[in-house]
Structure 1
Amino acid sequence: MTDIAGTQLFHRSMPFTERLGVEVLEHTPALVRSRLAWDETLCTLGGALHGGVLMSLADATGAVCAFLNLPEGGQGTTTIESKTNFLRGVRSGYAVATSRPLHAGRGVIVVETEIHDVEGQLVAKVTQTQAVL
């Protein structure tokens, strides 16, 4: 089921996510889940979702997770480092991203995001560091 408030938060704060068609499934400080439907216009010639699309999904999902874990007085975050391991392609259905905070400090927040396909197979693992603004 789509989390309407979460989807609006993504689209309002990151309009690019609306253009990609990102839908939020859940958003709490402990867990943010979103998904993106496979679409041939977002693919490589081989029919797999482009790595940049998957990274965009992970970055947006991780950014909201970091935002929901801001320390008192924090105004927002910005990605200062992101590392992605691609493990398989997404050739149909959805890519589902799940982000969890690993560290929520005063100056940086570290988030881990896993992307799975509709069959539950791990597609990519992303670790990103967000600077607190």
Structure 2
Amino acid sequence: MNNQLTPDVFNQRGANTLPGYLGIEILEIAKNRVSARLPVRQQLLAPNGYLHAGSVVTLADTAAGYACMAHLPEGAHSFTTIELKSNHLGTARDGAIAAVATPAHLGRTTQVWDVTVTDEANGKTIALFRCTQMILYPKAA
């Protein structure tokens, strides 16, 4: 694990990109775990008044991506997502949602991260998410 990648580092990196724009906050970067949260606000809802699935997926994907970055194998410099899947089991209309990413597989060429998204107030599961990332290495000269 790269101990130089702290929540502050990721929050600063994401400030002017989609995670920062949406309000995603990284809370914890630890061995085999990343946690994040997203305050629910009007702009993150679908026209039906419930949390937009894309908002949930973006929180989960951000947690999985930052987890992958923090756990890159030696010699790797980045990653790219090759597959993601989500099952939506509930929703929220206010408060905040939380995400916890844990690894299912940490290989040299791929990583698979599972993310559980919950309603922060009551702990109810909002979504289950799985993301597969291909690990990228510098190209040979």
Measure, in 2, the Cα distance between the counterparts of 1:57 and 1:67: 16
In the alignment of these two chains, the number of paired residues is 129
Cα distance in structure 2, aligned partners of 1:8 and 1:93 = 25
- What SS class does the counterpart of residue 90 from structure 1 fall into? coil
1:61 to 2:68 alignment? no
Structure number with bigger Rg:
2
Are the equivalent residues in 2 in contact too, given 1:86–1:124 (CA < 8 A)? yes
Runs of 4+ in 1 over 3 A off after TM superposition: none
1:79–1:128 contact (8 Å) kept in structure 2: yes
Contact 1:10/1:60 (8 A) holds in 2 = no
How far apart, in 2, do the equivalents of 1:64 and 1:8 lie?
Answer: 10
Q: Structure 2 unaligned runs (5+)?
A: 1-5, 137-141
Q: Secondary structure at the match of 2:57?
A: helix
1:93 positional shift:
0.6
CA distance in 2, matches of 1:6, 1:43: 26
- The CA RMSD measured in Å over matched residues stands at 1.4
Aligned to 2:53: 51
Tell me how far apart the structure 2 counterparts of residues 125 and 25 of structure 1 sit (CA, whole Å).
19
> 5+ residue gaps in structure 1?
none
TM-score, structure 1 as length reference: 0.91
